[in-house]
A and B are shown apart, each in its own frame.
Chain A
Amino acid sequence: MKQDIFQAIADPTRRAILTLLTIQALTPNVMAEKFDMTRQAVSKHIKVLHECELIKPEQSGREIYYHFNAKKMQEFDHWLAQFRQNWETQFNQLDELLSTIKKQKK
């Protein structure tokens, strides 16, 4: 199942990982050290972030470095902007309805 981006961001550890990755790409081992977690715990978080495409792996020699995928975050913000636009349309319709009702009452 595709991971839910909201669920991914809702977790404080995953937010901290993302913040760190905006500064530099890291290997799972370094992440585990920085967060004082087991390698398994880190792998779980990486899996969730990777599945919703918030991070991208890149092979460098024998190591895998994870990068922050800013494009995915932008897509998410873009999507939210559309959601906002829908509300604006609805509320403008309500403005018209309210002014019609007020005129009728006069």
Chain B
Amino acid sequence: MNNDLLFDFNVDKAAKTVYITREFNAGRALVWDAFTRAELLDQWVAPAPMRAKTKYMNFEVGGRRFYAMISPDGHERWAVQEFTSITPKTNFKMYNAFSDKDENRELPGSDWDYNFSEQNGITKVDITIFNESFERLEKILEGFKIGFTMSLTNLENLLSTLSEKQ
């Protein structure tokens, strides 16, 4: 099913900008909800085995989503999204920054721009991410990697425990 759906990922290193385009086999209203409602976001936005937990989300201009990516060993990486512009079912923009568990932001963050369009029941989402620095982008990936490494370490430990018992 996924094979016919477009997925583009381009990085303009000079402009410090990442462009992502993805199609989804669903109507625009549903896809919009999946990107803008906390209870849906938490179900897909963290690449397994990570999971996402939204503490609160006010999806309105000037409102915030305060959430964490949680690794299998319980390590929490908090971040704040601040919504800067919303055109229902068409576009929203936000400013994303990592933070501590008390919502103190670590600046600078990055600017995100989401566009939604539908054709023949397929919804296309265009995402533009502008980063002031590459290190910032690197941190995002580090967050993901911690989760993977942790779970691999757990697996190694488990395997060694099991083999010792034999």
A residues contacting B by CB (< 8 A) are 4-7, 9-10, 12, 15, 76, 79-80, 82-84, 86-99, 101-102
A-B contact count (CB 8 A): 80
Inter-subunit contact B133/A4 (CB<8 Å): yes
Determine the chain B residues whose CB is within 8 A of the CB of A7 once the complex forms. Answer: 133-134
- Complex: how many Å from CA A12 to CA B15? 10
| Chain B, range 59-107, C-beta contacts under 8 Å to A | none
Inter-subunit contact A9/B44 (CB<8 Å): no
Interface residues as binary, B24-45 with A (CB distance below 8 Å gives 1, 0 otherwise)? 1110001100100000100111
Interface pairs (18), CB distance under 8 Å = A6-B13, A6-B133, A10-B15, A12-B14, A80-B11, A82-B141, A82-B145, A83-B18, A87-B22, A88-B7, A91-B24, A94-B44, A96-B44, A97-B34, A97-B40, A97-B44, A98-B24, A98-B34
Contact of A94 among B13, B34, B134, B144 (CB under 8 A): B34
Tell me whether chain A's interface is mostly helix, strand or loop, or mixed: helix
Given A95-B25, A98-B30, the answer on whether A10 and B48 have CB atoms closer than 8 Å is no
Inter-subunit contact B34/A90 (CB<8 Å): no
**Closest chain A residue to B131 by CB distance?**
A6
